[in-house]
Amino acid sequence: MKKAVVITGASSGIGAATAIQFGRNGYFVYLMGRNKDRLAEVAVQCRAGASLMSCDLTDVPALNKRIGEITSTTIHKVEVLVNNAGIFDVHSTEEGSDELWQKEFEVNLMSAVRLTRAFFPYFKQHGGGSIINVSSSLGLKPTAATSAYSAMKAAMINMTQSNSLEGGAFNIRVNCVAPGIVDTPIHSFHALEESKRQEAIATMNPMQPLGRIGTAEEIAKAIYFLGSPESSWTTGATLAIDGGITNA
C-alpha cells in the first residue's frame, strides 16, 4: 500500500503548505477542510496524489463518514495524522460568550480529539503511526484577549503528552508544534490590501527575537519532520517554532 497522510484544515495556510511538503516526499494526501474549491487548488500541488475530503469537522456524522472512507481503503496506508484545523478569535473576557468558547472548543480541540480517537485503533492495527497536533505559542504563553484560543491550544499540548504515553507501546508517536505569528489566513492582517498588510507585518516583526514573523512553509517542514521516520525516537514533544517569541 502507498503511504498516506491525513491533514485537517488543509485548504490554506499551514495545512496547505504541509500537504505540499508531504506530497513532495511521496505521501498520498487526504485533504480535509470545508472549502472544496480551495482543497482542489492544493490537491494539484501534491506530487504523489491527493483526495478531497471536504467536511465540516464540527459535524460529527459527516466527520465519521470521512474517517470511515479513509480507514477502509486498501490502496493507501495512513502513516501520519496532522490535526491542524483551527480558528482564532480575539475577544475581551467580557466578550467571551458561551457560544464563542464552544466554537473554539469544537474546532480547535474536539476535532483533534475525535480524529485521534478514531486513528488510534487504525495505527495499532497497522503497526504504528505518527500524530502531529498543531497548537500555538499562545498555548505556552498566552496574551490578553486570547483566553479561549490559548486555553484550547494549551489543552492540545497536554493531550499530546498524555496520548504519547498511551501510544508508545504500539509505536504510535504523538507530537506537537507550537507556531508563533505566521503569515496565514487565520490572522486578519493576512486579508488586508498588500501595502497595509506589509505595514501590519512590519509592526509585528520586532516582537520576535529573530526579527520577523514566520511562514507556513517553515511550520510545514517541522510538521513533516515530526511525522516522518526522521524523528523516529521523538514522542510527547512540543516544538515551538516562533522566532523566539515565547521566550521574549
Cα angle 224, 228, 230 (rounded to 5 degrees) comes to 105
Report residue 241 as a C-alpha cell.
517554532
Would you say 42 and 24 are in contact if contact means Cβ atoms under 8 Å apart? no
> In the 8-state DSSP scheme, what is residue 125?
H
Write the CB contacts of 154 (distance below 8 Å, at least 6 apart in sequence). 135, 139, 140, 142
Q: Give catalytic status of residue 27 as yes or no.
A: no
Report residue 67 as a C-alpha cell.
474517517
Return the SS3 of 172.
strand
> In the 8-state DSSP scheme, what is residue 70?
H
Spatial CA neighbour of 239 closest among 221, 217, 213 = 221
- Catalytic residue (one of 27, 30, 122, 149): 149
List the catalytic residues.
Answer: 149
